[in-house]
Every structure is written in C-alpha cells, then in structure tokens.
C-alpha cells in the first residue's frame, strides 16, 4: 500500500514536471478513445426507436415474402403455389395472428428528373392484426377513398404530406397519410419506394400498367423468442429459384439489418479508432522511452533515497494509467456528444435516434483500449526496470564496440565526411533507441500509406455510385450519396488525423533525439565542432531510423490497407509511384523536422548542456 | 595583470556575465580582468557558486559575456559567432571538465582523435597521435573501451589526451579532479605538472587547495569578482605536494 502511495506521489510529480508530454499523450489517447466512444454510442442508437415502432405496429415475428421475375410468363414457383405455401405456414400451431398475404404491385413513381422504382402494397382499409403501419401524418387507408399512404422515408425524400399528390406512371393520386413500419425499411436505403393502397386503387394501378411482382405475409407467434426456431422448422417452404424467390425472415434478422448506414458509420469509426490507437502506441512508446533516457539522474537520486526499481516502474504505470483513465472519460463523453449528431443524419432510423445507455461493458472496452495502449508503451521499460538495477535499466547505455573502432579509417575513406561517420556511429551504438524511433515512425509511415490508399478508393466509390444509377433510381441515388458523404467525411477526417498524428509523432521523436544528444553535441562543440556539424550529425543519426521506418512501414501500411479495402471500400491498390514518393519524402521530411529542435540546441552556447549532469 | 614584455595567451578585460534568478539579476562574473601568459599555470579558486566555472566557460567561448573583452592569441574573440568560436577552439583551446564530457558513443581512442579529425588531420595521423598521447598518459590499453567502462581517473586522462591532441595554446580545466579519488587526483596532478614543465599554458578552476597550489599564480574569486591575486612560484613546491598526494593515494588504495 505504501508502495502504491509513493508511486502515486511520484507519478503526480512527474505529471507536473512534464505537462507537455502528458498533454500530448492525453491528446492522442483521447482521439482514439473518442472514436471508439462515438462508434459505441452510435452502434445501437437505432434499436430503441425500432423496438418502439415494432411494438406500436404489432410488428411481425416472422415475415414471409414471395417475389417473381416480372419479365417471365411462368416463374419457378408461381403465385398460386406461393399462396398455398403461405396458407400452410399461417396454419402452423405456433402462429397467433396473421397479416396478409398482401399483394405487391411494381411500377414507376414519377419524380423530378426521371422515375423511381415503386412497390404498392395492397391493404384492406381496416386495421391489420399484424404489421399495421404507424401513421405519423394524415390518416390510414379507408374504403371508398382512392388515396395512398406514403412510407415515411419516401414522404421525407419527396417532401410531401397529406393533401399532396404523387404521380404513378402518369396517374395522379392523392396522399392520405404518411406511415412507418418495421416490415419495410426507410427509403432510400430500402428500395424500391413503398406506398400502401386500397384494393380499389390497386385495380386502377393494374389498369395503368403496374404489374404484380409478389406478396408478403407477416406472422405473430405465441412467443417472439420462438421466431428463429419457427423459421428453421419451416425452411422447406422457402424456394430460391432463377425467376422467383420465397423466403422467411425473423424480426431479429430484420432489426439487425434495419440500420445499415449507422452500422457503416460505426464500423468506420471503430476502424479509425484502431488506426489512431496504433499510432498512439507509437507516440506513447517514444515519449516513455525518451523520458527514460532523460530520467537517469532523477532515478539515481530516487534510488539513493531507497526507492526500488519496482516502485519506479509502478510510478510510471500509475502515471500512464491515470492518463488512460482520463482519456477514457473524455473520450466516452466526447463520443456521446458526437454520436447523436451522426445518428440524426441517419436515413434508416425509425423516428428519433437514442444513444444507448452507457454500460460497464462499454466503458470497460474503451478503458481497455486506452490501458492497452499505455501498457504496451510502458512494457519494455517496465520489464527492464524489474529485471535490472534501477540505473542500468533506465539508463540507455551505448553498445560497446565488438571490434576496435574504425572511425579514423572511415574518415580517411573518400566521400565519408566526419559528421556522417559520427552520426552513423551514434545510431549504430544505440540500437535500442534506433529501433524504438524506427518503430514509432514506421506506424506513422503505415498510416500515410493507408491515407494514400483511401483517396483513390473514395474516388472509385463515387464513380461506382454514379455508374450504378439506373433509370428507376432518380430519387434514391442522390439520397444514398448522403451516406457516402458521411463515410467520406469520416474516412478523410481520419486520414488527415493520421497524418497530423504521424507528424506530431515524428516531431516528438526529433525533439527527444535532439535533447538526448544535446550533451554529446555540446561536448563536440567544446572540442571544435561547429553548430552546423552537430546538426548534421543528429540528422544522419536519425536518418537510419527513418529509413528503417520506411522499410517496416510500407509493408505494414499495405497490409493494413489490404485488410481495410476488403470491407465497405472498393479495393484499390496504392499506386507504386505513391509508395516511392512516400519512401523518398518521409526521410527528407523527418530530416527537416529533426533540424527544428536541433537548430535550437545548436545555436545555444554549449556551457549549459555541459555543466548540467 | 600581465607581466611586462610577455604577450598573454588569453586576456580578459571587464568580463561580466549576469544571470536572472527568479527575475532577480545575479552577476556570476562581475568585471573580471585576467591574463594568462605563455607557459604559465594559473589557478582560480573560490567557494561553490563564486563564478569560477562561468569565467572559464566565457574564456573558452562556451558562454557569451554580457560585457567586457576577451583577447585570445592577440585576437579579440568575444564577439565571434558560435561557428567561429568552434573553429577557434579546435586549434587554440583544450578543455578538461570535472564531469569528463567524453562522447559516450565513441571509444577512448575515438574521443581523443576526434579534435584532430575536426581540424582536417588524416585518419592515420590522427590515430597515431591519439595512440601516442594515450600511451603517454598510461591509458593506451583501454583505448577501445567506451567511456562508461573506464574509471574516473582513466576518463580524465582520456579527456586530457583529447585536450592535448591539437597542441593547443591554452588548456582550460574546470575542476579536473572534482570527481576523482585521491589516487586519480595524484595522477592527474602529476600530468598537469608535466604539462607545466613542458611550457603548456594552463588555467585551472578548482576549489581544491592542493590543486591550486601547483600553479604559478592563484586568483581568488568571490561573488563573481576576483578578490585576491597570489604568486605561488617557488612558494609551494609542486613536487612535495604531489608526493604527499601520491602517498595518500597509495594508502587509500592499500585499504
């Protein structure tokens, strides 16, 4: 207990002494947790509204649907056969109530700029025992009236309501009401567009050329939890042929599939969170490693007053876990602020989206991600701290030469300037630091590759969307673009974020490398090296890390991209020219970044670095 | 301060350096006048924080004065750029520090040959001279070791070899025995005595009276200013002091 108290005090002192590092780590951690938090808050935010509509409409437990190819005279399963199978299903003892079967007519809705595929479901005027659509405006169908009821999504897309008229294949018909139901998803992500009509209106539609394309029947069982078993037991009714299809679907399947856009957005946020989280591991590892190298003096003092290596490592863990805890809180809070705004733009939610309750499980997942990031970053110094003496474990000593040094001989080699040799020697003698920096940078390189792959992929997504638009999708194509816009915004935002984080990562590495070598460079200045020479040495010593980072980061980025582009994004290989450009530009940019802190040290008189030990 | 007729290797006039401590100006070096003749050894003594290390850093261009002049080998250098100071240091000044300040990624031999390579010596020549110096300073058998594998005395001998490799006009030594035990202190003092007898100019900052007493002249500092000036030549026989230190070191080593 005393150890923990001491560790907490040490951690608090460290946080106060190094606020910039703490803020940087907190910032990157929070970005990752916020993305996870938003993804979680978004995921499931359409479930409650769906449940409400399902309850209010006496929603189905099992839905049976039959559709046939309109262009053939005789389908694999004809309408009469389908009716017979429906009747058999409705007679099952588990069935408590039946809605339908309702005939579906196919036609074209006239809209600005063309037409939209339309299904007109023929309903009786009275209330159905199952799947009675919930009227949100106007009124339901009535006998003796030829008006139609629009599905909510269609009404929103057309910006029409009761009293307005729509035109179906040139025939104008009045809108009586607007309604929603779980048996039909919202237009435009659920197509074709849906309206409900009376049998009389259906006859009119037949006369103007609408064709019968199928029918649906909705069943309520004695127990909704039996839906899966019921569907499984009646799979023999299903028939999937070349010209017709008869299938069963349970309410749970429909509920899961009912908000595809939210699932895509949540999935994109999760993927972004994983990528940002990976980069955060690198940033945290570099910060922790840099601190270890700089903390030798303090650790020595602590050891002198009796602090054990275990306590020092514990302090480091406490400090980083505290930051992870804070990042979890901020991330979850930010996620819950952002998620409703994304969900409100959803085109599938039935009514107002509701952010699901924050369960301990969800908190644990986000906290686990943050904790994993800092523990991964701390594990190496922690293991070293536990295995070796304090100073040995925390001081990053140079690697002793295996053979006599050949610096002078190398310098005598034409084309190898002294600063280059010194820089290479410095990098070679500190392989651990070289590797840490290289791994940190390699994740940044990988993220740049992913970001580079996202751009052509999104362009192809746009092109694919435009190419697939058919004459019967004049209204829905534009609306579906809205979803693509949202995904594009998240993806491009993530790519930009990754680039910013990669740059911050490189800057931290550069600053720590410059600080780390300040004393050696001050010594070199004392024996006659110029500021420019010491700067060049630092750049050369870090170039090795950036070259190694490119060698590791390019395949890693390509691997990550190959995993990503198998999902919702169309597969587009990252162009070779882009990879070559990344391989060439990253070391140059990193060299330029290294010179920023190096310049600051190089132009200071060396006395301060020499006298401070 | 300089003796009539002899040109000083380094001369400081009205040298001032002020720091700010919590907004309060603190004069670390306060109008110091100083000169070191060719072949002369000058010690600067004083309590901790009196400004003696800052004075040494100013004379070597490791820090910039706020006021005053520094003339090195007849050339005014206090307004030189950082780069120009580096070039001057290469050929003119050798530094020895209390904390050794060896480049920890370079072996002892590489540390010593570094200043020679910086002035453009060939690799072979730099190596030959470095080995020669390390042999003279009795540390040649440790030349392929990194600094952290060397004892304090060995490190300081390597640092001294590094300071000497370009045959500088002046050696500036900042508490050269401050981190050494008595035996190593005796060895270093013996080397300094050898340097002095070979005509090397030395300015040694120390708070150790035994070290200070080996000089030709002793300057005392307090609160940034030189407050005393003593000629020691012949007053304190260096040989007897060193012999005493060596005896003490032997006794320590025998325990």
| pLDDT confidence band for B103 (50 / 70 / 90) | confident
Shared domain for A71 and A39, answered yes or no, is no
Q: Search chain A and give the residue with CA nearest B166.
A: A527
Shared domain for A455 and A533, answered yes or no, is yes
B4: closest CA of chain A, how far (Å)? 32
Q: What is the pLDDT of residue A400?
A: 53
Which whole-number Å values give the CA distances from B183 to A313, B159, B169, B243, B249, in the listed order?
38, 17, 28, 11, 4
The answer to the question of residue B73 being in a domain is yes
Nearest to B118 among A418, A519, A522 (CB): A418
pLDDT at B238 over 50: no
For residue B187, give every residue at least 6 positions away whose Cβ sits within 8 Å of its Cβ, in sequence order, or none.
Answer: B153, B157, B249
pLDDT at B55 over 90: yes
Q: Answer whether A405 sits within 8 Å of B110, measured CB to CB.
A: yes
A400: closest CA of chain B, how far (Å)? 6
Q: Which of A362, A396, A430 is the last residue of a domain?
A: A396
CB contact at 8 A, A505 and A518? no
Q: Answer whether A527 sits within 8 Å of B99, measured CB to CB.
A: no
pLDDT at B87 over 70: yes
A408: closest CA of chain B, how far (Å)? 4
Segments forming the whole domain that contains residue A487: 408-465+476-613
Residue to mutate among B93, B110, B169, with most A CBs inside 10 A, is: B110
Q: What is the pLDDT of residue A175?
A: 93
Of A338, A289, A384, A249, the C-alpha closest to A30 is A338
Q: Which chain B residues have a beta carbon less than 8 Å from that of A530?
A: 82-83, 86-87
Radius of gyration of chain A (CA): 33
Q: Answer whether A408 sits within 8 Å of B124, measured CB to CB.
A: yes
- For chain A, the residues whose C-beta falls within 8 A of a C-beta of chain B are 397-398, 400-401, 404-405, 407-412, 418, 422, 425-426, 429-430, 519-520, 522-533, 602-603, 605-608, 610-611, 613
The answer to the question of residue B250 being in a domain is yes
Nearest to B86 among A425, A530, A611 (CB): A530
d(CA A224, CA A51): 13
The answer to the question of residue A267 being in a domain is yes
B103: closest CA of chain A, how far (Å)? 5
Nearest to B127 among A408, A425, A613 (CB): A408
Q: Which two tokens stand for residue A479?
A: 């609306």
Q: Search chain A and give the residue with CA nearest B128.
A: A408
pLDDT, block means (10 residues), chain A with 613 residues: 73 77 82 81 80 90 86 70 86 89 90 85 88 91 84 88 90 92 82 89 90 89 90 80 82 82 75 75 72 60 66 78 88 83 72 75 84 76 58 49 55 66 77 75 79 71 60 62 68 72 74 78 88 87 85 87 62 81 88 80 76 53
Question: What single DSSP character describes residue A123?
Answer: -
Question: What single DSSP character describes residue B7?
Answer: P
d(CA B218, CA B214): 9
Q: Which of A206, A228, A255 is the last residue of a domain?
A: A255
Q: Answer whether A410 sits within 8 Å of B123, measured CB to CB.
A: yes
pLDDT at B237 over 50: no
Q: What is the pLDDT of residue B17?
A: 93
Q: Which of A255, A279, A303 is the last residue of a domain?
A: A255
Segments forming the whole domain that contains residue B73: 8-254
Shared domain for A426 and A487, answered yes or no, is yes
The answer to the question of residue A324 being in a domain is yes
Q: Which chain B residues have a beta carbon less than 8 Å from that of A607?
A: 54, 57, 62-63
For residue A489, give every residue at least 6 positions away whose Cβ sits within 8 Å of its Cβ, in sequence order, or none.
Answer: none
Q: Which chain A residues have a beta carbon less than 8 Å from that of B86?
A: 525, 528-531, 533
Shared domain for A450 and A576, answered yes or no, is yes
Q: Search chain B and give the residue with CA nearest A423.
A: B105
The answer to the question of residue A470 being in a domain is no
Residue with tokens 């052509």: A456
The answer to the question of residue A562 being in a domain is yes
Q: What is the pLDDT of residue A389?
A: 53
DSSP notation for B143-164: TTS-GGGS-HHHHHHHHHHHHH
B3: closest CA of chain A, how far (Å)? 29
d(CA A129, CA A219): 9
The answer to the question of residue B3 being in a domain is no
Render the burial of A393-417: b for 16+ CB within 10 Å, e for the rest. Answer: bbbbbbeebeeebbbbebbbeeeee
pTM above 0.90, yes or no: no
Residue to mutate among A409, A425, A519, A528, with most B CBs inside 10 A, is: A528
Determine the Cα angle at A468 with ends A466 and A473, to 5°: 90
Q: What is the pLDDT of residue B136?
A: 86
B171: closest CA of chain A, how far (Å)? 11
- A501, burial (CB in 10 Å: exposed 0-12, middle 13-18, buried 19+): buried
The answer to the question of residue A52 being in a domain is no
Residue to mutate among B82, B105, B112, with most A CBs inside 10 A, is: B105
Q: Which chain B residues have a beta carbon less than 8 Å from that of A523?
A: 101-103
The answer to the question of residue A93 being in a domain is yes
Nearest to A425 among B60, B97, B105 (CB): B105
Give the ipTM of the model, two decimals please: 0.83
Q: Search chain B and give the residue with CA nearest A400.
A: B146
Domain containing residue B201: CATH number: 3.40.50.300
Nearest to B62 among A519, A524, A607 (CB): A607
Q: Poorest-confidence range of A410-414, A502-506, B32-36, B62-66?
A: A410-414
Dihedrals φ, ψ of B250, to 5°? -60, -40
Q: How many domains does chain B have?
A: 1
* Angle, in degrees to the nearest 10, between helices A531-564 and A418-429: 50
Q: What is the pLDDT of residue B158?
A: 93
Q: Which chain B residues have a beta carbon less than 8 Å from that of A407?
A: 106, 110, 113, 117, 123
d(CA A335, CA A347): 20
Of B70, B38, B39, B30, the C-alpha closest to B222 is B30
| Chain A to chain B Cβ contacts (< 8 Å) | 124
Q: Search chain B and give the residue with CA nearest A612.
A: B99
Q: Poorest-confidence range of A64-73, A472-481, B3-12, B42-51?
A: A472-481
Shared domain for A2 and A81, answered yes or no, is no
Q: What is the pLDDT of residue A411?
A: 54
Shared domain for A86 and A189, answered yes or no, is yes
A295: closest CA of chain B, how far (Å)? 17
d(CA B86, CA B107): 22
Q: How many domains does chain A have?
A: 3
Residue with tokens 């110096």: B133
The answer to the question of residue B128 being in a domain is yes
Q: Answer whether B105 sits within 8 Å of A430, measured CB to CB.
A: yes
Is beta strand B201-206 parallel, antiparallel or unpaired with respect to B41-45?
Answer: parallel
Per DSSP, chain A holds a count of helices (H) and strands (E) of 21, 11
Q: Which chain A residues have a beta carbon less than 8 Å from that of B132?
A: none
Q: Is B30 in a helix, a strand, or coil?
A: strand
The answer to the question of residue B2 being in a domain is no
Shared domain for A539 and A584, answered yes or no, is yes
Shared domain for A294 and A325, answered yes or no, is yes
For residue A215, the cross-strand partners are A66, A103
Which whole-number Å values give the CA distances from B3 to A581, A597, B34, B38, B221, in the listed order?
67, 46, 11, 11, 20
Shared domain for A26 and A87, answered yes or no, is no
Q: Which chain B residues have a beta carbon less than 8 Å from that of A531?
A: 82-83, 86
The answer to the question of residue A403 being in a domain is no
Shared domain for A265 and A247, answered yes or no, is no
Q: Answer whether A401 sits within 8 Å of B99, measured CB to CB.
A: no
Shared domain for A193 and A322, answered yes or no, is no
Q: Answer whether B109 sits within 8 Å of A405, measured CB to CB.
A: yes
B70: closest CA of chain A, how far (Å)? 16
Element (H, E) at A63: strand A62-68
Shared domain for A247 and A263, answered yes or no, is no
* A162 HSE (CA, 13 A, CB side): 11
Q: Search chain A and give the residue with CA nearest B171.
A: A527
Q: Answer whether A607 sits within 8 Å of B115, measured CB to CB.
A: no
Q: Answer whether B90 sits within 8 Å of A527, measured CB to CB.
A: yes
Q: Search chain B and give the residue with CA nearest A416.
A: B123
């Amino acid at each position: 207990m005393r150890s923990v108290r001491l560790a907490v005090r040490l951690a608090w002192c460290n946080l106060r002494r190094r606020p910039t590092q703490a803020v940087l780590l907190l910032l990157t951690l929070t970005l990752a947790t916020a993305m996870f938090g938003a993804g979680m808050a978004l995921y499931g935010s359409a479930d409650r509204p769906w449940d409400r509509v399902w309850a209010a409409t006496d929603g189905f437990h099992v839905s049976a649907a039959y559709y046939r190819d309109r262009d053939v005279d005789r389908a694999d399963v004809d309408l009469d056969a389908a009716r017979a199978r429906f009747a058999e299903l409705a007679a099952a003892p588990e069935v408590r109530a039946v809605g339908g079967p309702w005939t579906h007519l196919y036609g074209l809705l006239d809209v600005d700029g063309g037409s939209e595929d339309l299904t007109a479901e023929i309903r009786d005027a009275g209330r159905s025992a199952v799947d009675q659509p919930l009227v949100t405006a106007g009124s339901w169908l009535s006998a003796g009236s030829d008006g139609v009821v629009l599905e909510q999504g269609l009404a929103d897309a057309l910006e029409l309501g009761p009293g307005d008229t729509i035109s179906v294949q040139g025939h104008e018909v009045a809108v009586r009401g607007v309604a929603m139901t779980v048996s039909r998803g919202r237009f435009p992500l659920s197509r074709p567009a849906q309206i409900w009509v009376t049998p009389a209106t259906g006859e009119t539609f037949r006369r103007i050329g609408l064709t019968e394309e199928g029918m649906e029947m909705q069943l309520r069982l004695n127990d909704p939890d039996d839906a899966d078993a019921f569907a499984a037991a009646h799979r023999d009714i299903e028939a999937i042929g070349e010209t017709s299809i008869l299938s069963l679907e349970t309410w749970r399947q429909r509920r899961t599939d009912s908000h595809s856009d939210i699932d895509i957005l949540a999935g994109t946020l999760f993927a972004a969170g994983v990528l940002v989280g990976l980069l955060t591991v690198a940033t945290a590892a570099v910060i922790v490693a840099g601190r270890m190298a700089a903390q030798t003096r303090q650790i020595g003092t602590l050891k002198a007053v009796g602090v054990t290596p275990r306590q020092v490592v514990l302090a480091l863990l406490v400090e980083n876990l505290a930051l992870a805890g804070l990042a979890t809180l901020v991330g979850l809070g930010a996620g819950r602020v952002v998620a409703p705004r994304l969900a409100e733009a959803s085109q599938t939610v039935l009514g107002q989206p509701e952010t699901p309750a924050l369960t301990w499980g969800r908190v644990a997942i986000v906290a686990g991600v943050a904790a994993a990031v800092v523990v991964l970053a701390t594990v190496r110094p922690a293991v070293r701290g536990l295995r070796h003496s304090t100073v040995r474990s925390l001081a990053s000593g140079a690697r002793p030469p295996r053979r006599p040094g050949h610096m002078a001989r190398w310098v005598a080699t034409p084309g190898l300037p002294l600063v280059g040799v010194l820089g290479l020697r410095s990098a070679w003698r500190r392989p651990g630091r070289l590797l840490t920096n290289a791994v940190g940078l390699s994740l940044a390189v990988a993220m740049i590759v992913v970001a580079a792959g996202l751009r052509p992929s999104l362009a192809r997504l746009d092109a694919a969307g435009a190419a697939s638009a058919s004459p019967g999708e004049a209204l829905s194509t534009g609306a579906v673009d809205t979803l693509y816009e949202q995904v594009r915004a998240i993806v491009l935002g993530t790519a930009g974020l990754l680039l910013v984080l990669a740059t911050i990562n490189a800057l931290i590495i550069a600053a720590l490398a410059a600080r780390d070598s300040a004393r050696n460079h001050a010594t070199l200045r004392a024996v006659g090296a110029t500021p420019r020479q010491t700067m060049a040495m630092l750049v050369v010593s870090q170039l090795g890390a950036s070259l190694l980072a490119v060698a590791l980061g390019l395949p890693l980025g390509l691997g990550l991209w190959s995993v990503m582009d198998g999902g919702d994004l169309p597969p587009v290989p990252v162009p070779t020219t882009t990879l070559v450009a990344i391989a060439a530009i990253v070391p140059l940019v990193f060299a330029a970044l290294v010179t920023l802190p190096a310049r600051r040290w190089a132009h200071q008189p060396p006395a301060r670095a020499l006298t401070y030990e | 301060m300089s003796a009539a007729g002899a040109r000083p290797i380094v001369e400081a006039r009205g040298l001032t350096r002020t720091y700010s401590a919590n907004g309060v100006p603190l004069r670390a070096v306060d109008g110091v006048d100083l000169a070191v003749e060719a072949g002369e050894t000058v010690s600067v003594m004083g309590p901790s924080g009196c400004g003696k290390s800052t004075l040494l850093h100013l004379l070597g261009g490791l820090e910039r004065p706020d006021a005053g002049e520094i003339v090195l080998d007849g050339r005014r250098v206090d307004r030189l750029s950082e780069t120009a100071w580096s070039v001057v240091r290469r050929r003119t000044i050798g530094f020895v520090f209390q904390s050794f300040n060896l480049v920890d990624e370079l072996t002892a031999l590489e540390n010593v040959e570094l200043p020679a390579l910086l002035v453009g010596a060939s690799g072979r020549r730099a190596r030959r001279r470095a080995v020669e110096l390390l042999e003279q300073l009795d540390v040649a058998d440790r030349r392929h070791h990194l600094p952290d594998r060397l004892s304090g005395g060995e490190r300081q001998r390597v640092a001294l070899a590094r300071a000497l490799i370009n045959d500088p006009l002046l050696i500036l030594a900042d508490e050269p025995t401050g981190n050494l035990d008595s035996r190593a202190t005796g060895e270093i003092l013996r080397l300094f005595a050898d340097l002095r007898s070979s005509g090397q100019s030395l300015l040694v900052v120390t708070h150790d009276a035994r070290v200070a007493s080996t000089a030709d002249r002793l300057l005392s500092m307090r609160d940034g200013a030189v407050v005393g000036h003593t000629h020691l030549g012949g007053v304190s026989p260096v040989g007897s002091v060193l012999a005493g230190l060596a005896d003490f070191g032997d006794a320590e080593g025998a325990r």
